[in-house]
Amino acid sequence: MWDRRTGEPVSNAIVWQCRRTAELCDDLKLRGYEDAVRRKTGLPIDAYFTGTKIRWLLDEIPNGQRRAEDGKLACGTVDSWLLWNFTNKLVHATDVTTPAGPCSSTSIPSIGMMTFFQCSTCRELSFRSQIFQRDLRSCRRLSLGRATRPIAGVAGDQHASLFGQCCFESGSAKNTYGTGCFVLANTGRNRVDSTAGLITTVGWAIGDETVYALEGSVFSAGATVQWLRDELGIIGTSAESESLASQVADNGGVYLVPAFSGLGAPYWDMYARAAIVGLTRGSTAAHVARAALESIAYQTRDILDAMRQDTGASLSSLRVDGGATDNRLLMQFQSDLLGVPVLRSAVRETTALGAGYLAGLGVGFWDRPNDIEGLWQADETFHPAMSDDRRENLYGDWRRAVDRSRNWAS
2-136 and 166-410 share one fold: yes
**Predicted pLDDT of residue 8:** 92
CA 290, 292, 293, 294 dihedral sign is positive
Half-sphere exposure of 291 toward its Cβ, with a 13 Å CA cutoff?
Answer: 26
Q: How many residues does the chain have?
A: 410
CATH classification (class only), 166-410: alpha beta
In three-state form (DSSP H/G/I as H, E/B as E, the rest C), the secondary structure along 217-244 is EECCCHHHHHHHHHHHCCCCCCCHHHHH
Give tens-digit pLDDT for 225-258: 999 999 999 999 999 999 999 999 999 999 999 9
C-alpha–C-alpha distance, residues 184 and 204, integer Å: 12
pLDDT winner (highest mean) among 51-60, 204-213, 251-260: 251-260
∠71-46-94 over CA atoms, to 5°? 40
Taking a C-beta distance cutoff of 8 angstroms, is the pair 263, 402 a contact? Answer: yes
**N-to-C CA span, the chain:** 31
C-alpha–C-alpha distance, residues 20 and 53, integer Å: 8
Question: Strands 151-153 and 134-136: what pairing?
Answer: unpaired
Write out the H or E segment, with its range, that includes residue 23: helix 22-30
Give tens-digit pLDDT for 1-45: 999 999 899 999 998 889 899 999 999 999 998 888 888 788 888
Half-sphere exposure of 407 toward its Cβ, with a 13 Å CA cutoff?
Answer: 2
Domain ranges of the chain: 2-136, 166-410
∠28-34-37 over CA atoms, to 5°? 100
Q: How far is CA 234 from CA 177, 209, 214, 308, 333, in A?
A: 21, 50, 36, 37, 21
Pick the CATH number of 2-136 from 3.30.420.40, 3.30.70.260, 3.40.50.720, 3.30.590.20: 3.30.420.40
Write out the H or E segment, with its range, that includes residue 277: strand 275-277
Give tens-digit pLDDT for 364-382: 999 999 999 999 999 999 9
Mean pLDDT of all residues in 253-275: 97
With 0-12 / 13-18 / 19 or more C-beta atoms within 10 angstroms meaning exposed / middle / buried, residue 106 is buried
With a pLDDT cut of 70, the percent of the chain lying above it is 88
Instruction: Say yes or no to pLDDT of 107 above 70.
Output: no
Q: How confident is the model at residue 80 (pLDDT cuts 50, 70, 90)?
A: confident
Long-range interactions of 209-213: CB distance < 8 A, separation 24+: 210/96, 211/186, 211/187, 212/186, 212/187, 212/188, 213/159, 213/162, 213/184, 213/185, 213/186, 213/187
H helical segments located in 312-407: 328-338, 350-362, 370-373, 388-405
One DSSP character per residue, 167-230 reads --STT-EEEEESSSEEEEEEEETS----SSS-EEEEEEEETTEEEEEEEEEES-SHHHHHHIII
Give tens-digit pLDDT for 143-166: 555 555 778 888 888 999 999 999
Per-residue DSSP letter, 77: -
Taking a C-beta distance cutoff of 8 angstroms, is the pair 141, 328 a contact? Answer: no
